[in-house]
Amino acid sequence: MITKRVALVGKPEVGKTTIKKVIFEGEDPNELVLFPLEATIGIKYSVHEFMDMKISLLDTPGQSLPILLQDEEKQIASFENTGAIIYIFDYPTWITDSQDIIDDIQTLYKINKKHDFGSKIVLFLHKVDLLIDKKIGSRLDLIGKQINKQLDLPEDFPIYFTSLHPNLIYTIYNAISDTFSNFSEDSSKLKEIIKKTIKHSSKTICFVSNREGNLIIQSSSPDFDTTTLYYLYEKIYQFSKTPEQPLSNNKFINAGSKLLCMIIEDIGKFHPSFKNLLFFSETLKENDLNEFINEIEKELGQIYN
Amino acid sequence: MLRQIYIILNDNIIYQRNYAKGLDDSLFTNVYLNIKKAAFAKFADVIRSYEFFEFKLSYIVEKSLNLIFLFVTGLGDEFKNIKPQLSDFRKEFLDFYHDNIKENNLKIVTEILDPIVDNIHRNLKPKISIVGFSGVGKTTTTKLIKSEEIPMQHIPTITGEVATIKIGKLHFFLWDFAGQDQFDFLWEKFIRGSDAVLLMTDSTLENLEKSKYFFLLVNKEVPYARLAVIANKQDLPEAMKVEDIERLMGTKTYSFIAIDPNNRPKMIRIIADLLDMDAKVSPLLKPIFERDTLMDKAQKALELGEFNETVEIFEKISNICLELGDDSLAIELQEKADKLRSFLG
Ligand SMILES: Nc1nc2c(ncn2[C@@H]2O[C@H](COP(=O)(O)OP(=O)(O)O)[C@@H](O)[C@H]2O)c(=O)[nH]1
Ligand SMILES: Nc1nc2c(ncn2[C@@H]2O[C@H](COP(=O)(O)OP(=O)(O)O)[C@@H](O)[C@H]2O)c(=O)[nH]1
Ligand SMILES: [Mg+2]
């Protein structure tokens, strides 16, 4: 089993430790939000298993973020050999202090480049439960684009919108599992196959979920309407919670402003890390999507059987 | 604003009243268990408040009776305003029921409690602010929705007008701000604690671009308030289309014509929709209730593969949305209906 290091960084009070406790230590999010934890003091490591990997997680104390961003020795101790640096910021702070957050992320980018850490920088915009908007899908999409625009860096960073709210808890699971699965060889191979398959299609997206119902792969054609993503996550989560209602009966799904054609296939037989392969499309019909599934299963068969 | 009230005796909810979306059953159970643990701890405060995601939960506890009074409000409500309401409520309740609780024959008479609770809702009423540049139609809108018997109170010192509006059992508190220039410095005080902010525009591109300025201010002062754009003056030929405005502003947008007296109920519904008010509280809100019920029905039909029925329901909802001023949703649903029909061939 390979071990990957992942660092969680962010300002104090954004929710780093709470996330860690809920996701990896099975604590009750409602209790942790009602009765918040004491501030984290000192850097905390913990090790967790995920897919075919061990993840060594580093929770940095928020108070020391400015020091960390200045002190070279600390940077090397914290970020050397990390596969991913997850920068967590929260919605209220983004509203009041976006420049400060932009500065943090730009600094992280520079540090990562300077020391050649080669870590993947991933952004979590947390506490989106506080964003109460009737058009939340398009709002989040807009905020995501705005963040990358303001960052003005040579590459766009993946941004996940997360929350521990009971109705949104899947957002944090998806964000973590999608980030971690990038280090898994099995998942990377499958992702390549999917990318190749949908390369020429329009307004179509593909997901792979694991046995826990969390998304581990997401790949879409460039013109896919990302404002529907928020709703798709919610629907996929709801389905995974009610297995008695077979997803395969559904041909269409209502996702925000769009009605998408959908199809689903159980690919658990190829590898225990995988469960469902899902396609959603604005332009393609059931038959076309079935073609995709056949192609992908053929390739998976060659690898795993 | 007060969203919900619970009275819990010996772990049973003996009274509950909902004014707007709040905790659902499973969330309540979970939260209650946690709060109970804290409230009944040895040295715990009798009266306290916790933030819980988008809500503020405040309780007062009667330890000897295993009795908790719980208010669910928005994050914008200050505890110092909630506190006296909680204390008074406990006192009134106990004055009335104290002996019955002890004798174990408690029968809650909702006819007695409801008016008391309605009064609390009145004191912790939603604050709705209408903002926008001068000339876009704020005053016209406020005049349109204020109820006749309660005159607008002009407060010259803050160059804005305040109105309390009573519709059915609902009481709204409304500010009509003057434009930006006059009172930049007063802004903070005005807007603080708003549950909903309506950004009024005259549907011209120039005004919309300028109005983005208000978004910044609103986000800074009341990031938790619910925000919507009102696309007013839709009767004028140069008005931009609502879907385009919504795209431009990235925020829920409702079409409106403030000079049309028939639009009074429409504005009330917009506000109620924005605040997730419980539609059963006022008959005026029936279309919202109907829309939500139909949405669920459409979802079910879609899941069951009953596509012809789904198309029908989509079109019905689309019509209700037009009535609500929610043009973009009306268009979305019409498009979905058309798409589904084309797939059916
Ligand atoms: N509204 C909301 N609050 C959260 C969420 N996650 C964490 N919090 C709160 O954020 C605060 C800070 O959490 P903590 O984990 O101690 O932050 P850290 O300093 O980054 O480790 C606590 O009060 C948590 O209850 C969330 O998803 N939504
Ligand atoms: N055509 C049209 N005129 C409107 C509408 N709403 C308001 N007006 C007019 O616009 C002008 C300014 O309205 P007012 O309510 O005073 O704007 P305020 O400065 O935002 O309070 C008045 O002459 C109104 O009659 C509308 O929906 N359509
Ligand atoms: Mg005026």
β-partners of residue A252 are A261
Q: What is the ipTM of this complex?
A: 0.82
Instruction: Tell me what the mean pLDDT of segment A77-92 comes to.
Output: 91
Band the pLDDT of A268: cuts 50, 70, 90: very high
**How far does the centroid of ligand 1 lie from the alpha carbon of residue A24, in Å?**
15
The answer to whether residue B147 scores a pLDDT higher than 70 is no
Band the pLDDT of B122: cuts 50, 70, 90: confident
The answer to whether residue A290 scores a pLDDT higher than 90 is yes
Number of cross-chain residue pairs from A and B with Cβ atoms under 8 Å apart: 87
* Range in A67-71, A263-267, B88-92, B200-204 with the lowest mean pLDDT: A67-71
> In this structure, are residues B233 and B205 in contact, taking their beta carbons and an 8 Å threshold?
no
Which is nearest to A214 in space by CA: A189, A242, A241? A241
Residue B149: predicted pLDDT: 40
Which is nearest to B299 in space by CA: A238, A280, A240? A238
Q: How is chain B split into domains, by residue range?
A: 2-123, 127-277, 284-344
Average pLDDT score, chain A? 89
Instruction: Tell me what the mean pLDDT of segment A127-154 comes to.
Output: 90
**How far does the centroid of ligand 2 lie from the alpha carbon of residue B168, in Å?**
27
Higher local confidence (pLDDT), B72 or A240:
B72
Higher local confidence (pLDDT), A222 or B173:
A222
**Using one digit for the tens of pLDDT, what is the confidence trace for B153-186?**
555 445 566 777 776 667 777 777 665 555 566 6
Residue A159: predicted pLDDT: 96
**Using one digit for the tens of pLDDT, what is the confidence trace for B193-203?**
889 999 999 99
The answer to whether residue B151 scores a pLDDT higher than 50 is no
Band the pLDDT of A217: cuts 50, 70, 90: very high
Compare all CA atoms of chain A with the CA of B337 and give the residue at the minimum distance. Answer: A259
Higher local confidence (pLDDT), B102 or A19:
A19
Band the pLDDT of A193: cuts 50, 70, 90: very high
Residue B150: predicted pLDDT: 42
Among the partner residues B53, B75, B273, nearest to A165 by beta-carbon distance? B53
Residue A1: predicted pLDDT: 74
SS3 track for chain B: CEEEEEEEECCEEEEEEECECCCCHHHHHHHHHHHHHHHCCCCCCCEEEEEECCEEEEEEEEHHHCEEEEEEEECCCCHHHHHHHHHHHHHHHHHHHHHHHHCCCCCCCHHHHHHHHHHHHHHCCCEEEEECCCCCCHHHHHHHHCCCCCCCEEEHHHCEEEEEEEECCEEEEEEECCCCHHHHHHHHHHHCCCCEEEEEECCCHHHHHHHHHHHHHHHHHCCCCEEEEEECCCCCCCCCCHHHHHHHHCCCEEECCCCCHHHHHHHHHHHHHHHCECHHHCHHHHHHHHHHHHHHHHHHHHHCCCHHHHHHHHHHHHHHHHHHCCHHHHHHHHHHHHHHHHHHC
CA distance A212 to A49: 14
User: Are A251 and B52 an interchain contact pair (Cβ–Cβ within 8 Å)?
Assistant: no
* Range in A38-42, A49-53, B182-186, B328-332 with the lowest mean pLDDT: B182-186
- Going by CA atoms, what residue is nearest to atom 24 of ligand 2? B137
- 10 Å CB burial of residue B213 (0-12, 13-18, 19+) is exposed
Q: In the CATH hierarchy, which top-level class contains the domain B2-123?
A: alpha beta
Q: Within an 8 Å CB–CB cutoff, is residue B34 touching chain A?
A: yes
The CATH fold of domain B284-344 = 1.25.40
Domains identified in chain A and CATH numbers: 2-181 (3.40.50.300), 185-304 (3.30.450)
**Using one digit for the tens of pLDDT, what is the confidence trace for B266-315?**
888 898 899 998 877 777 788 888 998 999 999 999 988 899 999 999 99
Instruction: Tell me what the mean pLDDT of segment A31-47 comes to.
Output: 81
CA distance B104 to A268: 57
User: Are A261 and B343 an interchain contact pair (Cβ–Cβ within 8 Å)?
Assistant: yes
Within 6 Å (CB) of ligand 1, which residues are found? A 10, 12-18, 32-33, 36-37, 39-40, 62, 126-127, 129-130, 163-165; B 53
Ligand 2 mutation target, pool B136, B140, B260, most atoms within 8 A of CB:
B140
Band the pLDDT of B341: cuts 50, 70, 90: very high
Residue B192: predicted pLDDT: 84
Residue B184: predicted pLDDT: 61
Chain B residues in contact with A257 (beta carbon < 8 A): 328, 332
Q: Within an 8 Å CB–CB cutoff, is residue A250 touching chain B?
A: yes
Say which residues have a Cβ less than 8 Å from residue B284's Cβ, sequence separation at least 6: B167, B168, B265, B268, B269, B272
Say which residues have a Cβ less than 8 Å from residue A150's Cβ, sequence separation at least 6: A98, A102
- The full length of chain A comes to 305
pTM over 0.80, yes/no: yes
* Range in A119-133, A248-262, B9-23 with the lowest mean pLDDT: A248-262
Q: Within an 8 Å CB–CB cutoff, is residue A241 touching chain B?
A: no
The answer to whether residue A68 scores a pLDDT higher than 90 is no
Q: Within an 8 Å CB–CB cutoff, is residue B246 touching chain A?
A: yes
Q: In the CATH hierarchy, which top-level class contains the domain B127-277?
A: alpha beta
